[in-house]
A and B are shown apart, each in its own frame.
Chain A
């Protein structure tokens, strides 16, 4: 029974470069979420998928950010032309298709991004 996995765990990049993160949800979970967390703050919602459909996007998700879940399984989050303000922990979560528990989101370990 594996949990949510994220790769890489850490990424250091130079300003202006593109980065891509991957998230593998818990098997059979049809909902997948992306959050961003900065130091001293709680996670902030970015976007979520139900199967392969992207159903909601936050205003935090600028046009430099794009997320995909092409086959309804793993997801990728890409940031183009990174800025120093993008430095944060990027968290992925998934939840079950069961109506009574679909609000229970289980988080991965996160990807720590540092933009120099």
Chain B
């Protein structure tokens, strides 16, 4: 089945540093989403992207929908300790018909921030 390749798998950075993570797929997606998940909780939606080339910011977070529609990246600027968590990309395949409803998730990037 369809899989998303998310990298890096984990990151350990110093507070104040910028972070970048990305996601690639083998097929075209019509939507890319980025979520953050804390231990024992459900994923929280950070950013949604709908158009190829779209660049969207949410505070210190910036995400882009790749031109090929097969990739997306997320940047976090000036990281702080509360950025710690697991970040997931998720996407919906473009199947040429109506919305299927199913999101496909990456394997996650675990971010640790050292104060």
A binding-site residues for B, Cβ under 8 Å: 4, 6, 31, 33, 35, 40-45, 48, 50, 55-56, 58, 91, 93, 100-110, 112
Partner of A42, one of B44, B50, B108: B108
Would A91 and B103 be within 8 Å (CB), given that A42-B108, A103-B92 are in contact?
Answer: no
User: Are A105 and B45 interface neighbours, CB within 8 A?
Assistant: yes
Give A58's nearest chain B residue, CB to CB: B102
From B90, B101, B103, B104, name the one whose CB has the most chain A CB atoms within 10 angstroms: B101
User: Are A107 and B101 interface neighbours, CB within 8 A?
Assistant: no
Q: In angstroms, how far is the closest chain B Cβ from the Cβ of A108?
A: 5
Task: Check if B43 is an interface residue, CB within 8 A of chain A.
Answer: yes
User: Are B42 and A48 interface neighbours, CB within 8 A?
Assistant: no
Task: Check if B96 is an interface residue, CB within 8 A of chain A.
Answer: no
Query: A43 contacts which chain B residues (CB < 8 A)?
Result: 43, 88, 90, 103, 105
User: Are B105 and A103 interface neighbours, CB within 8 A?
Assistant: no
Task: Check if B100 is an interface residue, CB within 8 A of chain A.
Answer: yes
A45–B44 alpha-carbon span in the complex (Å): 16
- Closest 7 CB pairs between A and B? A42-B105, A107-B42, A48-B101, A103-B31, A45-B102, A107-B43, A104-B48
User: Are B92 and A108 interface neighbours, CB within 8 A?
Assistant: no
Q: In angstroms, how far is the closest chain B Cβ from the Cβ of A2?
A: 14
Task: Check if B115 is an interface residue, CB within 8 A of chain A.
Answer: no
Query: A42 contacts which chain B residues (CB < 8 A)?
Result: 4, 6, 88, 90, 105-108
Query: A55 contacts which chain B residues (CB < 8 A)?
Result: 101
User: Are B105 and A31 interface neighbours, CB within 8 A?
Assistant: no
Task: Check if B59 is an interface residue, CB within 8 A of chain A.
Answer: no
User: Are B42 and A108 interface neighbours, CB within 8 A?
Assistant: yes
Q: In angstroms, how far is the closest chain A Cβ from the Cβ of B89?
A: 8
Query: A58 contacts which chain B residues (CB < 8 A)?
Result: 102
Task: Check if B99 is an interface residue, CB within 8 A of chain A.
Answer: yes
User: Are A105 and B103 interface neighbours, CB within 8 A?
Assistant: yes
